[in-house]
């Protein structure tokens, strides 16, 4: 009898505990539900018009004055600048590859409609997009960088450093990241451009990404500021493996500020025609026709805004100077090239996520991904090929970098990329 009662009590206790803990779990689920709802409401502004794209995206045309940027505390009284106050003077005496003339900016969604004047197209964020993020706070961010750009390292050069005009630039060792880049340092830069070849490299898993891009940076390696743009395959952020346009900023090496596209407040968009984060087309094919887009980032000398231009004529929008403390007057380091993010970097088996076209840099035009018409702008406000450049590849047997000069008097074309895992080179 006594034993029976003991058993019953224990059973009842266990049941009570079960009910209690399931209530706790349910309550937790409910709060995160409402947190997700709040975040979605904050991200997706009311649409004047909505466009359903064939690629599955929903594009909201949002009143330009009601875009996410204006939720940023530093932009409360911000007066929108509709156009850059300057024309970019290009030094066209430099060699150009005239056979590639596809420098317009076609995006899939544009076939299904266009946004009215006074609105900007914004890729709608869905609940499932937020659920794929490692956390709500991390949604739209690059994972934090390890101390990379230390600049001016005195002492002996090491495995991860490159010397430009007697200045050592230290890149590593990076964790979970592999880069193959062209870089320049020595001046104060107020702009940089490059025509980036467009491909659709393989990405192995959801928590990896691959980019082809330009970086303009300032500050120490453990806390740099950066504005970036290019194309990217990033299934965690976008939910598929398409090649998409991106723009990104940070003021603390991606730790807690800034984000891609308009997934947080900061970037002020002015273009009615181009949606950040939307797929771009057409893609280049091996041995076939090559397509490219011209990416440029310029500091407006009057407003201090960093303008993003894609294609020769289209200003997309800008990052206001209030977002930064060092990038307010100039950038100190410019990089062109690719980055792969994966936890299987410098490990065997290495990730099979590819960079660029998936081919090594020395395979050159039509096979490897290129960036041509590499230009910087200094205080002379002229676009020019940088005086000092270096290439750097953190795993050159997986992803390589090659600044190729075809012949005397011709300008170099930067090739980069690789397949990732490919034994015996990259085991």
Ligand X SMILES: *[C@@H]1O[C@H](CO)[C@@H](O)[C@H](O)[C@H]1NC(C)=O
**Cβ at position 13, least distance to ligand X in Å:** 38
Number of residues interacting with ligand X: please give it, by CB under 6 A: 24
The Cα–Cα gap between 241 and 127 comes to: 19
Of the two residues 50 and 165, which places its CB atom closer to ligand X in the complex? 165
Is 93 an interacting residue with respect to ligand X (CB under 6 A)? yes
> Contacting ligand X (CB under 6 A), which of 148, 176, 269, 367?
176
Distance CA 26, CA 44 (A): 27
Q: Which one, 25 or 74, has the nearer CB to ligand X?
A: 74
Pick between residue 189 and residue 249 the one whose CB is nearest to ligand X: 189
- Give the C-alpha separation, 213 to 231, whole Å: 6
Options 11-19, 39-47, 53-61, 97-105: segment touching ligand X (CB under 6 A): 97-105
Chain centroid, CA 234 distance in Å: 9
Please name the residue that has the structure tokens 């050592």. Answer: 168
Note whether 360 and 344 are within 8 A (CB): no
* 314 SS3 class: strand
Report the nearest approach of ligand X to the CB of residue 71 (Å): 12
Which tokens go with 76? Answer: 């409360």
To ligand X, the closest distance from the beta carbon of 192 in angstroms equals: 16
Give the footprint of ligand X on residues 39-78 (CB under 6 A): 74, 76-77
Q: Does residue number 413 form part of the binding site for ligand X (CB under 6 A)?
A: yes
Catalytic residue among 225, 228, 335, 395: 228
What Å distances lie between residue 120 and 67, 72, 126, 226, CA to CA?
Answer: 8, 18, 18, 24
The span from the CA of 61 to the CA of 209, in Å, is 28
With binding defined as CB under 6 A, does residue 325 bind ligand X?
Answer: no
Kindly name the residue from 339, 359, 395, 396 that is annotated as catalytic.
339
User: Binder to ligand X among 26, 154, 159, 288 (CB under 6 A)?
Assistant: 154
Q: Is 339 a catalytic residue?
A: yes
Dihedral angle of Cα 323, 324, 325, 331, to the nearest 10 degrees:
-160
In our burial notation (b when 16+ CB lie closer than 10 A, e otherwise), range 338-362 reads bbbbbebbbeeebbbbbbbbbbbbe
Q: Is 208 a catalytic residue?
A: no
**Residues near ligand X (CB under 6 A):** 74, 76-77, 91, 93, 97, 99-100, 143, 146, 152, 154, 165-166, 175-176, 186-187, 343, 365, 372, 382, 406, 413
Q: Active-site positions?
A: 228, 339
């Amino acid at each position: 009898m006594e034993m029976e009662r003991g058993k019953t009590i224990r059973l009842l206790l266990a049941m009570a505990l079960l009910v209690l803990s399931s209530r706790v779990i349910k309550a937790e689920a409910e709060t995160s539900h409402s947190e997700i709802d709040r975040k979605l409401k904050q991200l997706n502004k009311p649409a004047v018009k909505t466009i359903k794209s064939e690629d599955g995206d929903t594009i909201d045309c949002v009143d330009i004055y009601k875009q996410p940027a204006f939720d940023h505390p530093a932009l409360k009284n911000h007066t929108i600048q509709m156009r850059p106050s300057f024309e970019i003077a290009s030094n066209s005496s430099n060699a150009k590859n005239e056979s590639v003339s596809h420098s317009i900016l076609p995006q899939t969604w544009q076939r299904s409609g266009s946004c009215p004047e006074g609105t900007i197209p914004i890729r709608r964020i869905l609940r499932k997009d937020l659920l794929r993020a490692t956390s709500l706070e991390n949604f739209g961010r690059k994972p934090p960088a390890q101390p990379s750009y230390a600049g001016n390292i005195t002492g002996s050069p090491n495995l991860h450093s490159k010397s430009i005009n007697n200045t050592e630039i230290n890149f590593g060792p990076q964790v979970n990241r592999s880069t193959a880049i062209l870089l320049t340092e020595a001046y104060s830069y107020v702009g940089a451009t490059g025509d980036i070849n467009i491909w659709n490299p393989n990405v192995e898993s959801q928590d990896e990404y691959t980019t082809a891009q330009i970086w303009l940076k300032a500050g120490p390696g453990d806390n740099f500021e950066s504005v970036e743009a290019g194309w990217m395959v990033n299934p965690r952020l976008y939910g598929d493996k398409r090649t998409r346009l991106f723009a990104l900023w940070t003021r603390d090496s991606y730790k807690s500020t800034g984000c891609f596209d308009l997934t947080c407040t900061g970037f002020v968009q002015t273009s009615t025609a181009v949606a950040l984060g939307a797929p771009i087309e057409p893609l280049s094919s091996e041995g076939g026709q090559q397509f490219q887009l011209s990416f440029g980032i310029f500091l407006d000398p009057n407003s201090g805004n960093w303008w993003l231009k894609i294609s020769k004529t289209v200003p997309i929008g800008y990052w206001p100077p209030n977002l930064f403390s060092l990038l307010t007057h100039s950038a100190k380091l410019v990089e062109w090239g690719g980055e792969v993010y994966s936890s299987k970097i410098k490990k065997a088996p290495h990730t099979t996520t590819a960079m660029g076209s998936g081919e090594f840099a020395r395979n050159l035009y039509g096979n490897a991904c290129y960036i041509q018409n590499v230009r910087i702008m200094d205080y002379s406000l002229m676009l020019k090929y940088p005086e000092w450049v270096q290439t750097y590849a953190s795993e050159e047997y997986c992803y390589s970098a090659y600044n190729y000069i075809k012949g005397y008097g011709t300008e170099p074309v930067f090739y980069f990329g690789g397949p990732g895992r490919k034994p015996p080179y990259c085991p």
